[in-house]
Amino acid sequence: MDNVKKSESVGTKAKGGLTGIWKNLKAEFKKIIWPSKETFTKQMIAVIVSSLVIGLMVALFDLVIVKLLLELVIG
């Protein structure tokens, strides 16, 4: 058991400290393929519309469940 080395954490620190991290971050951002304005707008509208539809469905289900429970309790 004396011959077993403790494992050291590898890759926890970026080379160059904070500036190295910043340079790596900038390099990674250059690799990103950003969507066009038209694509972004279409996707944003789709997210907003689907969120509204799901929100309305949840509100409607909640209203129906509350009405049914009130009918059962109050009679």
- Tens of pLDDT along 9-61? 445 555 678 888 999 999 999 999 999 999 999 999 999 999 999 999 999 99
pLDDT at residue 62 is higher than 50: yes
Q: Which of 44-48, 63-67, 69-73 has the lowest mean pLDDT?
A: 69-73
Say what the pLDDT of residue 4 is.
57
The secondary structure of residue 8, as a DSSP letter, is: P
Alpha carbon 65 to its chain's center: 30
